[in-house]
Amino acid sequence: MALIVQKYGGSSVSDAQAIKRVAKRVVATAKAGHQVVVVVSAMGDTTDDLLDLAGQLAASPSQREMDILLTAGERISMALLAMAITEAGIPASAFTGPQAGIHTDAKYGRATITALIPERIARSIKDGHVAVVAGFQGINDFDDVTTLGRGGSDTTAVALAQALNADVCEIYTDVDGLFSADPRVVPAAHQLHRADFEETLELAAHGAKVLHLRAVEFARRYRVPLHVRSSFSDKEGTWISDGPAKQTLRGIVPQVALPSSKEYSVEAPIISGIAHDRSQEKITVVGLPDRPGAAAKLFEIVASVGANIDMIVQNVGISEQGRANVSFTLPEADARRTLQAISDAKDELSYRELLDNREIGILSLVGAGMRTNPGVSAKLFGALSEAGINIEMISTSEIRISVVTNLDELDDAVRAVHTAFGLDASETEAVVYGGSGR
Amino acid sequence: MALIVQKYGGSSVSDAQAIKRVAKRVVATAKAGHQVVVVVSAMGDTTDDLLDLAGQLAASPSQREMDILLTAGERISMALLAMAITEAGIPASAFTGPQAGIHTDAKYGRATITALIPERIARSIKDGHVAVVAGFQGINDFDDVTTLGRGGSDTTAVALAQALNADVCEIYTDVDGLFSADPRVVPAAHQLHRADFEETLELAAHGAKVLHLRAVEFARRYRVPLHVRSSFSDKEGTWISDGPAKQTLRGIVPQVALPSSKEYSVEAPIISGIAHDRSQEKITVVGLPDRPGAAAKLFEIVASVGANIDMIVQNVGISEQGRANVSFTLPEADARRTLQAISDAKDELSYRELLDNREIGILSLVGAGMRTNPGVSAKLFGALSEAGINIEMISTSEIRISVVTNLDELDDAVRAVHTAFGLDASETEAVVYGGSGR
């Protein structure tokens, strides 16, 4: 008997039929002898509908009331799912975030978990019930409900898995798992059967939308084994854990053999995959004085409006002696107020010009192989050059290289790089799938 | 400065426009210098939509989960209304039933308030905020949310008004107040400007849907002054309090003079109004043995399925010597399981036949006048007889006479009685409106 935390996103519980399908899967897991805790998001478009209503009533609604409003969505889905599971043959009880013992700080809309005491959940599963928990929500010291912000339900699931010492945290989604690239862009993309936390973190941080960055960070810190898989099929998804795959995760034996690290051929570059991101914008400050403190002042202003910047490039002396151009990327949602703040500080910063480019895309190549393989960046730039794609900015980490391209060249760039690194399914299957063939 | 509790039903907050209208009224009340606590129901059809979803997932869903589900409705409306009030210029905070300190027993779906400690509400209004409270919900000793059942939001409002020692509890609805009869049935019906608790109780118990019986009972027990009025106009509604109208309710001076008791002419029968009810069913048990304990056994069985019976008539020896026929009325919703239980106990009860009549209506004439006016029942039966309406059952209380008619004769009966008692607006206005003329 294993203890399994399963998380279902909004698309998995979009209507009564979908809820019944999830209930069937939960009951099958329980009938196989496992203890099951289910974390659920709001149904389909509920959150968007509620946001829309709020937008009609107030220009900038109070965050406290916004959290009360939005948590109604999970309240509905958790109650309905518990009813459906009970109807399908296993008693189920629904719990709000507060009832599940999820304590947070008081930052409405983007609260952080400060303590997790899942006493009622532990009691419920001990009594043979399935515990259905509302994702995305907790309670602060003022006895008010809070939301965990984007990716909150993934975080709830991983945190509960850690607190309950679960054997695995299964993240159900509408795709089969993590892929070497987005299959909608690269038809030859193949599914990853396993990944380690660092690779997954880089993929999540740079545009792969299957798993939320914050949940991966949590899982990595506490070594919670994750299994990302589809709620629409019974196929194995992607196992995410530390180092080589554990052959048995306390009873959760994978149905197919996992490739271990050594099964990767030295011939194939050791690349996990390619993430891409269309939601960033590039701001360039032209003609900033090239003196100590100028860049610091700029980024102080950017930080003061809470903008979340990703890549930064500074080119000294290109446009003019004693002046520098600084470019950085940030989420579109942060761009307007950042531009306003920089513009307001024009006299103080004494730059020449402020440029804004929304038409950019970011491609990130992720893989542990980069640490030791100096040929990776050469191959990357060669492939992009051959495909006629212009690179605007570059940034690297130990296991990632990201490049900024024109937005309309991004898809071509992803496909070219995918092919160049031998990731296309027909070429690499024998290697990646451990010799199991097609 | 007065403390006013305002309750808005689902039809008053059916969409964003309606919520804005309510917010405007709340802000106007606050800007007039009053402290305001608002109790709100779920938006429009939310509750029905949620019930429908639950019905698709489970034949008889768990009541605990059903309460979690249904309370999401008020969570949405309270958060949106608080946002809209804040946007309209007065800071507002939203509170769930549990946060408002509404403690209940554990009877999910029909919980009773066991304690009300509105500490956060008192603090909020003291800070100059409008407190918006979710109606219909509370919390039990297991830290689970409960619902108060039908009429629950009215009950929340009245209970909060009592606990906060409010000057008045305003019940906003989609009609102008209490009427001498349903204006949709009796075009000549006139609005009551005031009524006492007992009259209102009888009206609410016998079909007048404006106010819920349970809330009136609560208001009567704790002498909470009620003002039932329209959320679509600024007109005075119906004031409900004890004995003669208070001329000033701690600052809430009515905009029009209230008729005091002595303004009612002795010529006009002292009748408050006529309620009617189409939602009852009549069950007749034919040929029950006329011996001690037989009726007791019957009603024990009826009670065991939780049926809420209203009128009872027993006719001994009509159909057969030593046998009695017992008829009683009960809500349609209780009829199926009651018939089943009586049928299951046929051997034990040894009756001859079980009859069920759904096509009945109940007319109730309510007024303090009946206590001392022996001519009232004669006039009632005379009017019905003249209109050719057959009376199937009769029951009386000190301030009410109810008769059962055929369902298709009910409207005619209501109109005939309304006219006979001189309640038609053109005839009685001079009297009821205290000589103010048209």
**Residue A53 touches partner B, C-beta closer than 8 Å:** yes
Q: Do domains B2-264 and B272-422 have the same CATH topology?
A: no
Task: Give me the residues of A, 151-180, that contact B with CB < 8 A.
Answer: none
What pLDDT is recorded for position A151?
A: 81
Instruction: Work out the minimum CA distance from A63 to partner chain B, whole angstroms.
Output: 10
What pLDDT is recorded for position A369?
A: 59
pLDDT tens column, A73-105: 999 999 999 999 999 999 999 999 999 999 999
Residue B184, annotated as binding a ligand: yes
**Residue B49 touches partner A, C-beta closer than 8 Å:** no
A228: Cα separation from own chain's centroid: 11
pLDDT tens column, A165-217: 999 999 998 888 888 888 888 888 888 888 888 888 888 777 777 788 788 88
Q: Which residues of B touch A23 (CB under 8 A)?
A: 57
What pLDDT is recorded for position B318?
A: 52
Provide the percentage of residues in chain A whose pLDDT is more than 90: 49
pLDDT tens column, A149-161: 878 999 999 999 9
Q: How many CB pairs under 8 A join A and B?
A: 110
Instruction: Work out the minimum CA distance from A125 to partner chain B, whole angstroms.
Output: 17
Helices within B116-196 (DSSP H only) = 119-126, 152-163
Strand B145-147 and strand B137-139: pairing? Answer: antiparallel
What pLDDT is recorded for position B291?
A: 74
Do B87 and A62 make contact, defined as CB atoms within 8 angstroms? no
What pLDDT is recorded for position A270?
A: 66
Do B86 and A58 make contact, defined as CB atoms within 8 angstroms? yes
pLDDT tens column, A370-423: 655 656 777 888 888 888 888 877 777 767 788 889 999 999 999 999 998 888
The stretch A222-238 carries a mean pLDDT of 91
What pLDDT is recorded for position A243?
A: 58
Domain ranges of chain B: 2-264, 272-422
**Residue B24 touches partner A, C-beta closer than 8 Å:** no
B93 or A313: which leads in pLDDT: B93
Task: Write out the two tokens for A212.
Answer: 């939320």
Angle CA B217–B220–B225, to nearest 5: 120
In angstroms, the CA A64 to CA A49 distance is: 18
Closest residue in B to A83 (Cα–Cα)? B61
Q: Which of B78, B86, B96 sits opposite A62 (nearest CB)?
A: B86
Do A96 and B68 make contact, defined as CB atoms within 8 angstroms? yes
The stretch A239-249 carries a mean pLDDT of 58
Q: Which residues of B touch A72 (CB under 8 A)?
A: 72-73, 75-76, 79
Q: How confident is the model at residue A438 (pLDDT cuts 50, 70, 90)?
A: very low
Mean of pLDDT over chain A: 84
What pLDDT is recorded for position A78?
A: 97
Question: CATH number of B2-264: 3.40.50.300, 3.40.640.10, 3.40.1160.10, 3.40.190.10?
Answer: 3.40.1160.10
B294 or A348: which leads in pLDDT: A348
What pLDDT is recorded for position A154?
A: 93
What pLDDT is recorded for position B281?
A: 93
Provide the percentage of residues in chain A whose pLDDT is more than 70: 86
Residue B47, annotated as binding a ligand: yes
What pLDDT is recorded for position A80?
A: 97
Q: Which of B433, B438, B406, B437 is nearest to B180 (CA)?
A: B433
pLDDT tens, per residue, chain B with 438 residues: 899 999 999 989 999 999 999 999 999 999 999 999 999 999 998 999 999 999 999 988 999 999 999 999 999 999 999 999 999 999 999 999 999 999 999 999 989 999 999 999 999 999 999 999 999 999 999 999 999 987 899 999 999 999 999 999 999 988 888 888 888 888 888 888 888 888 888 887 777 777 887 888 889 888 899 999 998 888 999 999 875 443 333 333 333 333 333 333 333 446 778 889 998 999 999 888 877 777 778 888 888 887 777 777 776 555 566 777 888 888 888 899 899 999 999 999 999 999 999 999 999 888 765 655 656 777 888 888 888 888 877 777 767 788 889 999 999 999 999 998 888 864 433 222 222 222
Q: Which residues of A touch B57 (CB under 8 A)?
A: 16, 19-20, 23, 80, 83-84, 87
Residue A46, annotated as binding a ligand: no
Q: Which residues of B touch A76 (CB under 8 A)?
A: 50, 53, 69, 72
**Residue B20 touches partner A, C-beta closer than 8 Å:** yes
**Residue B296 touches partner A, C-beta closer than 8 Å:** no
The stretch A40-55 carries a mean pLDDT of 93
Residue A20, annotated as binding a ligand: no
CATH 3.40.50.2000 holds for B272-422: no
List residues bridging with B280 in a β-sheet. Answer: B331
Residue at A323: amino acid letter? R
In angstroms, the CA B386 to CA B141 distance is: 58
